Amino acid sequence: GAVVSQHPSRVICKSGTSVKIECRSLDFQATTMFWYRQFPKQSLMLMATSNEGSKATYEQGVEKDKFLINHASLTLSTLTVTSAHPEDSSFYICSARGGREWGGELFFGEGSRLTVL
Amino acid sequence: AQTVTQSQPEMSVQEAETVTLSCTYDTSESDYYLFWYKQPPSRQMILVIRQEAYKQQNATENRFSVNFQKAAKSFSLKISDSQLGDAAMYFCAYMRGNEKLTFGTGTRLTIIP
């Protein structure tokens, strides 16, 4: 299948700082990318849908000013956790939708573990 | 809103045996997709199998097959000849058209050597 790369895979930051996580589709163009958050031993919770060239659509209860999403190109979406606090510590996963040649299948990144001290 | 329910938080199976993971969903749509994803300890989400709702034939992928009962809104996953590498969290998921995936709560599968 197609490859989606997330970076960094692990990040530790101090409370109050901002952290940016990148999600790249390496061998296909993705007009739509999704960002999820996963707590330990729980399922994936969709945070927002990111469409290239337009504003992200956030799920209910997700603070858009806290979790800034930018989808500036067909191969890159970024999630910035602003003024991070310990409660933002979590595993963040992105997925990208493949085009017609991939039957619209969703491909997932490896995930990024954020730890806020 | 669509919901996906996995009623088995944990399952275990002897190596080489067969195990079935349950999934039910709720939707008012007639055209949609259903998926089973595997999440091993590495946390990488891996697509196991996919079913289009308009297809009556159950999808199969090698040792993995599904029992899709559209009227009952049931989508179970059968793993045959279980292997140690099958140990993982398994998530059932629903998607309508090109919209978002809705995941179930997951089933942790343990393989007993």
Model pLDDT for residues B1-37, shown as the tens digit of each residue:
679 999 999 999 999 999 999 999 999 998 999 999 9
Q: What is the pLDDT of residue B1?
A: 66
Does residue A8 register a pLDDT over 90? yes
Quick check: A46 and B101 CB within 8 A?
yes
DSSP E strands, chain B:
3-5, 10-14, 19-21, 24-26, 33-39, 46-52, 60-61, 64-69, 74-79, 88-95, 101-103, 107-112
| CA B89 to each of CA A87, B11, B44: distance values in angstroms, whole numbers, following the listed order | 24, 10, 11
Confidence of residue A78 (pLDDT cuts 50, 70, 90): very high
In degrees, rounded to 5, the angle at the alpha carbon of residue B80 between the alpha carbons of residues B76 and B82 is 110
Quick check: A110 and B43 CB within 8 A?
yes
Enumerate residues 63 to 92 of chain B having a beta carbon within 8 A of any beta carbon in chain A.
Answer: 91
Q: How far is C-alpha A7 from the geometric centre of its chain's CA atoms?
A: 10
User: Does an H or E element contain A4, and which?
Assistant: strand A4-7
What are A65's two structure tokens? 């000013």
User: pLDDT tens for residues B57-98?
Assistant: 999 999 999 999 999 999 999 999 999 999 999 999 999 877
